[in-house]
Amino acid sequence: MLTLAQIAAEPELLTWRLRLGDGTAAALRPLEHGDARGLAAFLGGLSAETRRLSTYDGYDLAAARELCAAIARYDKLRLVLEVDSGAVAGLVEFSLAIMPDDMARYGAAGIRLGERTDVRFGITLADAWQGRGVGTAVFPLVEEVARRLGRSRIILWGGVLADNPRALRFYEKNGFRRVGAFTDSGGRASIDMIREPV
């Protein structure tokens, strides 16, 4: 089972090369300290609608530097999808921590979450790469990362907004099921989803 410190020291442990649907060569690899500018370009390029669907603390170089500074310091693992031009086309995030609110909501649905079994996951693609099968191409690697982190189930980090039909379809097509509805801290209708081992 890999630790965040091991991954930071040897990012190639979780690095894969893949071809996107249109033939573009890409790599999925852990975020590294030198990625701040590329990550800032990715965050800064997200449209208002993508920011609504997938919200970050900030979208500028300072926000990107904070994400880089967090490498192996807390409970988070972030990977970037880098296309052959060197641009960041997506950000894939995992959290090894399960929050009391998550435990309560899933518990009410009869699912006992725990840090030995579950990992939280979120994904955001750059606008130009959305709706082209890229998320689905990357998903087997998401499962592999969870497995290498020693977690058998994947839950959505913060759930998914009820009015995000593409993400709902993407998750369901990749093996997630709906657990229940809740209202997020901003008062928005959201849905919890879990992917259990098949």
Ligand X SMILES: CC(C)(COP(=O)(O)OP(=O)(O)OC[C@H]1O[C@@H](n2cnc3c(N)ncnc32)[C@H](O)[C@@H]1OP(=O)(O)O)[C@@H](O)C(=O)NCCC(=O)NCCS
Q: Interface with ligand X by CB under 6 A: which residues?
A: 50, 53-54, 123-125, 130-136, 156, 160, 164-167, 169-170, 173
Least distance (Å) from ligand X to the CB of residue 5? 28
Least distance (Å) from ligand X to the CB of residue 22? 12
Nearer to ligand X, 37 or 169 (CB): 169
Helix H or strand E segment including 123: strand 118-125
Least distance (Å) from ligand X to the CB of residue 1? 26
- Which residue in this structure is represented by tokens 């490498």? 71
Least distance (Å) from ligand X to the CB of residue 137? 7
Nearer to ligand X, 8 or 87 (CB): 87
Nearer to ligand X, 91 or 113 (CB): 91
- How far is residue 195's CA from residue 198's CA, in Å, rounded to a whole number? 9
User: By CB neighbour count within 10 A (0-12 exposed, 13-18 middle, 19+ buried), where does 126 fall?
Assistant: buried
Tokens in use for 182? 């809740």
Nearer to ligand X, 91 or 98 (CB): 91
> Of the candidates 108, 115, 110, which has an alpha carbon nearest to the alpha carbon of residue 153?
115
